[in-house]
Amino acid sequence: MRYFNPETMTEVLPGMHDMIGAVGLPDDYWFFTQTEMPEGKMLAVNEHGEPILVEVSFSEGELAG
């Protein structure tokens, strides 16, 4: 079992990090197996505190830059 902190969106290591609020995830959960973010995606958290990938969306003002 590995752990994820939905507030900081990082892995939590027992004995090194505060476990308050950490969510247990299987060792083979996608978050622990990918090395980079797929293009057009960003990290978010679902209602269960689990990491998910969502589509990046830009507002019209952000595109004008």
Burial class (CB in 10 A: 0-12, 13-18, 19+), 11: middle
What's the pLDDT at 34? 87
| pLDDT per residue rounded down to tens, the chain (65 residues) | 999 999 999 999 999 999 999 999 999 999 999 889 899 999 999 999 999 999 998 765 555 55
β-pairing, 41-45 vs 2-5, is: unpaired
Domain boundary assignment for the chain = 2-64
Dist. CA 65–CA 48, nearest whole Å: 35
pTM for the model stands at 0.79
Residue 11's φ and ψ, nearest 5 degrees, are: -70, 145
Taking a C-beta distance cutoff of 8 angstroms, is the pair 52, 4 a contact?
Answer: no
